[in-house]
Amino acid sequence: MTELKLAIKETTEFIKSQGVGEVTFGLILGSGLGELAEEIEDKVVVPYNEIPHFPVSTVVGHAGQLVYGTLSGKKVLAMQGRFHFYEGHSMQTVTYPVRVMKALGAHSLIVTNACGGVNENFEPGDLMLITDQINFTGTNPLIGPNDEELGPRFPDMSNAYTPAYQEVAKKVGQKSGLHLKEGVYMGFSGPTYETPAEIRMARTIGADAVGMSTVPEVIVAAHSGLKVLGISCITNLAAGMQANLNHEEVVATTERVKGEFKDLVKKTLAEL
Ligand code: HPA
């Protein structure tokens, strides 16, 4: 057995021993969006620092635990807080929980994040359905030997964000009277916010939003054959489009729209 598979086995055995049963949907809850996990029923909570092969997340606003249970009638395993490349974790570590979700039986992943709006029609507080992504992190979590049992050497990214899931989310958004935006998420390594010049470049090459997460997890989800729904919260206009950027604004915006965000994810999940 490869080192990675052995680690996954040890991690999943531990998680199961804590009372986590069947998983259908994995959920990754981004900055300020972790509250959704509190609505999970019949919860089993597993702190990251107790899980073998899991690192500890270091960002303010990230609780750092797995929350298992029922949400919108589905068996979900939520990450309350994720791992970022800019924290110094390897890309393999950042994406390890996605491998674990797959090994626990998940067929789908819902990824969420806080990000900056590049599209001039976006406003802080908008929710954006992710239709595609640009990997601008400078690396890729699949670099290295490939284990064919986990996925193909050259995964197809044509439909990394599952089109049928996007249709469902759009319908739910319309029914809720929500002006759900849609667009391409471009992932940078961070931790600096982008420069105005980088944002002009991002817009020119087709990005609607920029952030420091999600891209690696979705690459591994595609490698693993997981269906993906991605929802971004536009917390600010990107660099050069507003006076300055700061984490406090990111937190304040997610705080303001978390009700709408939770509603959209729960109602969409019910229909998936
Ligand atoms: N850039 C990158 N990441 C972010 C931003 C941004 O403007 N806002 C929230 N996360």
Does pLDDT of 161 surpass 80? yes
Does pLDDT of 26 surpass 60? yes
Cis-peptide, bond into residue 191, ω within 30° of zero = yes
Residue whose token pair is 């817009």: 203
Nearest CA to ligand 1 atom 6: 116
Percent of the chain with pLDDT over 70: 97
How far apart are the C-alpha atoms of 160 and 222, rounded to whole Å?
6
Please tell me if the CB atom of residue 269 comes closer than 6 angstroms to any atom of ligand 1: no
How do residues 53-89 score in pLDDT, each as one tens digit? Answer: 998 656 555 568 999 999 999 999 999 989 999 999 9
CATH code of 55's domain:
3.40.50.1580
- The rounded Å distance from CA 146 to ligand 1 centre is 32
pLDDT for 57 equals 58
Does pLDDT of 149 surpass 70? yes
How far apart are the C-alpha atoms of 101 and 94, rounded to whole Å?
13
How do residues 30-50 score in pLDDT, each as one tens digit? Answer: 878 889 999 999 999 999 999
**DSSP notation for 82-115:** ---GGGT--HHHHHHHHHHHHHTT--EEEEEEEE
- The rounded Å distance from CA 98 to ligand 1 centre is 22
What is the number of domains present in the chain? Answer: 1
Neighbours of 195 (CB within 10 A): 12
Please tell me if the CB atom of residue 114 comes closer than 6 angstroms to any atom of ligand 1: yes
Domain that holds residue 255: 3-271
pLDDT for 216 equals 98
For the segment 210-226, the average pLDDT, to the nearest whole number, is 98
What sign for the dihedral angle of Cα 16, 18, 24, 30? negative
Atom of ligand 1 nearest to the CA of 117: 7
More confident call, 241 vs 104: 104
**Residues with catalytic roles:** 31, 62, 84, 86-87, 114, 212-213, 236, 247
Strand partners of residue 77: 26, 68
Residues 6+ apart with CB under 8 A from 136: 186, 187, 188, 202, 215
